[in-house]
Amino acid sequence: MHSSSRLPLPLLLLLTSLWISPLSNAQSTLPQGWVTPHPAFRIIGPLYAVGMQDLSVFLITSDEGHILINTGLQDSTRHIRNNIESLGFRLEDVRIMLTMQAHWDHTAAMAEIKEITGAEVWATPEDARVMEDGGFSDAHFGGRQTFRPVEVDRIIRQDDVITLGDLVITVHEHPGHTEGSSSYTFEVAENGRTYDVGIINMGTINGGKRIVVNPTYAGVAEDFATTYNKQKQLTVDVWVAAHNSQFDMQEKYQPGQAYDPETFVDPIGYIRAIERLESAYLEVIADELDN
């Protein structure tokens, strides 16, 4: 039997870098939309999309630096930088980085972008734990590192207000998809109208996750139920989510389309999307109780 102390040094080095390889090997089987670049575009006011076709990365700009929400996969930094620069902004001006859900498809480039920008990473307590151990303590995908760990500089909680320049952004804890999932809301005034904008982490249930029978984590059923209720009570005119497909980006926006603050106004679609997820949740529970 091998003990790690008897492994030659090169092999030890190889093993310590193994957290990268499961992801690299998996690249070919990843959803196409996770690896296909998408040109940057303005969603509304200071909010821009700078991510991949189906992995949302959001830039919220101010005169005193920017907020970046999510990354893509571990090699997405270059694309995010190109997208930010195509809008006339600089990656180096990102001051705060936020998560919506500490899953590797949204967080894997965060450590690298933090190094480049010196930005602070702010996260809810449970997402912070997972960010700092590289996904190891994730209730569903954990037990191994799935992305490069990143130090969290500040803990944020329900109703905290993030300010940067003239930005005023409210934090919402929406647990379930991950224990620390979170959403962000703010107002945008344009065209003599005030729009309520929501960057919403949707309560989707990853395959194999358990809700009531041998639950993936204690309290997951209550978390999802509370999140659906809280989300339905939010006033939202414009909404986006961690995956572009969740808010039908491609039906609402074609690359090159002229900016219009009305493009992503969709309060009814927002409620319907939550109701669909809530129904799916009830079906998962019914299946668990049946089997």
Interaction site with Zn ion (CB under 5 A): 101, 103
Pick 126 or 237: Cβ nearer Zn ion? 126
Pick 61 or 216: Cβ nearer Zn ion? 216
In whole angstroms, what is the distance from residue 163 CA to residue 161 CA? 6
Residue 74 neighbours by CB under 8 Å, 6+ apart: 20, 23, 104, 108, 109, 112, 147, 148
Q: Report the nearest approach of Zn ion to the CB of residue 280 (Å).
A: 15
Q: Report the nearest approach of Zn ion to the CB of residue 177 (Å).
A: 6
CA dihedral (125, 130, 132, 133) positive or negative? positive
In whole angstroms, what is the distance from residue 266 CA to residue 268 CA? 6
The beta-strand segments (E) located in 50-156 are 58-60, 66-69, 94-98, 120-123, 154-155
Taking CA 102 as the corner, what is the angle to CA 265 and CA 85, rounded to the nearest 5 degrees? 60
- Using CB positions, name the residue nearest to Zn ion: 103
Pick 53 or 117: Cβ nearer Zn ion? 53
Residues 279, 282, 283, 289, Cα dihedral to 10°: -170
Q: Report the nearest approach of Zn ion to the CB of residue 86 (Å).
A: 27
Neighbour tally for 21: CB within 10 Å: 10
- Residue pair 232/266 in contact (Cβ under 8 Å)? The answer is no
Q: Report the nearest approach of Zn ion to the CB of residue 219 (Å).
A: 18
Q: Report the nearest approach of Zn ion to the CB of residue 138 (Å).
A: 9
Pick 103 or 114: Cβ nearer Zn ion? 103
CA dihedral (236, 241, 244, 246) positive or negative? negative
Pick 103 or 174: Cβ nearer Zn ion? 103
Start-to-end CA distance of the chain, whole Å, equals: 40
The helix (H) or strand (E) run that includes residue 259 is: none
Pick 131 or 167: Cβ nearer Zn ion? 131
Q: Report the nearest approach of Zn ion to the CB of residue 206 (Å).
A: 6
Pick 55 or 156: Cβ nearer Zn ion? 55
